[in-house]
Amino acid sequence: MNKLYCKDLIRFSDAMSDFSRVIIITELMNGRALSASWLANRLNLSPQATRFHLKKLEDVDLIHHRECGKHHYYEIKNQDTAMFIESTFNIIPPKECLFLSNTNTKEKFKEARTCYKHLAGSWSVALTQSFINNEFIVIQDNFFIVTEHGKNFFKGHKLLINASNTASVGKRCIDFTEHRDHIGGPLGALLLQSMLQQEWFKQNDNNRELTITPKGRKNLNVLLIDK
């Protein structure tokens, strides 16, 4: 095995060996950019301790920061990094105490949540399989590609309005609670953005859970009907 690879693996393992750093990662997997002060308050840590943990995560390229005035905002580095983190959750699922406060919350988390910037959970997996069955999307290598039939269907439901060609491509992302594919990448991000704009889901700023609205449940069930 390449020695440089071994060193990178050791650095990654070290970065993810601390409870506070795992909490930071799970918070940022919502696709948000969070300030160091927000994270310090969330983790009940001093500013110095929070900055130490953030630097550890930056050093292994899991996160990066952007400056806005006097504040530094931290976020997952990119979509590929988010998918890598989510894939580790498939191997070693996070303990419920990291993001679940009670049984009801646990069920909501499994039903619908954000995975970086796209939809995850049982609804996302069901929708993905329905889109495949109806030939709205096809699998090519490790990607989902929207068909012409799919473009017309999605536009009819206001899910791909003014979409570019790149937005019609989604990555195959394995859902760590359902253990099956859901749609990630640009396509997944655009679908979730459209659903949020149409108020199919309500997003909680403090965690990854999504609440399905009555309007959303009605429209999601329509998407699951075989055409």
More reliable by pLDDT, 167 or 113: 113
3-state secondary structure 66-127: EEECCEEEEEECCHHHHHHHHHHHHHCCCCHHHCCCCHHHHHHHHHCEEECCEEECHHHHHH
The pLDDT of residue 143 is 93
More reliable by pLDDT, 145 or 29: 145
d(CA 12, CA 182): 26
The pLDDT of residue 72 is 83
Instruction: Tell me the pLDDT tens digit for each residue of 176-216.
Output: 788 789 999 999 999 999 999 999 999 876 678 899 999 99
pLDDT band at 1 (very low <50, low <70, confident <90, very high): very low
Average pLDDT, the chain: 83
Asked if 129 and 96 touch (Cβ cutoff 8 Å), the reply is no
More reliable by pLDDT, 59 or 68: 59
Sequence-distant (6+) residues with CB within 8 A of 216 are 195, 198, 199, 200, 201
- pTM here is 0.69
The pLDDT of residue 96 is 47
Query: Does the pLDDT at position 12 exceed 50?
Result: yes
The pLDDT of residue 45 is 92
Q: What is the mean pLDDT of residues 61-85?
A: 83
Sequence-distant (6+) residues with CB within 8 A of 42 are 23, 27
The pLDDT of residue 165 is 64
8-state DSSP, 192: H
Q: Which amino acid is at 139?
A: I
Query: Does the pLDDT at position 160 exceed 60?
Result: yes
Q: What is the mean pLDDT of residues 116-136?
A: 94
The continuous run of DSSP H or E covering 220 comes out as helix 214-223
Q: Using DSSP bridges, classify how beta strands 63-68 and 71-76 pair: parallel, antiparallel or unpaired.
A: antiparallel
Instruction: Tell me the pLDDT tens digit for each residue of 22-46.
Output: 889 888 887 778 888 889 998 899 9
- Residue 167: strand, helix, or coil: helix
Q: Tell me the percentage of the chain whose pLDDT exceeds 90.
A: 44
The pLDDT of residue 93 is 56
Tell me the domains of the chain and their CATH numbers.
3-77 (1.10.10.10), 98-223 (no CATH)
d(CA 150, CA 160): 10
d(CA 45, CA 103): 27
More reliable by pLDDT, 86 or 148: 148
Q: Using DSSP bridges, classify how beta strands 113-115 and 118-120 pair: parallel, antiparallel or unpaired.
A: antiparallel
Query: Does the pLDDT at position 133 exceed 90?
Result: yes
8-state DSSP, 201: E
Asked if 29 and 115 touch (Cβ cutoff 8 Å), the reply is yes
Sequence-distant (6+) residues with CB within 8 A of 92 are none
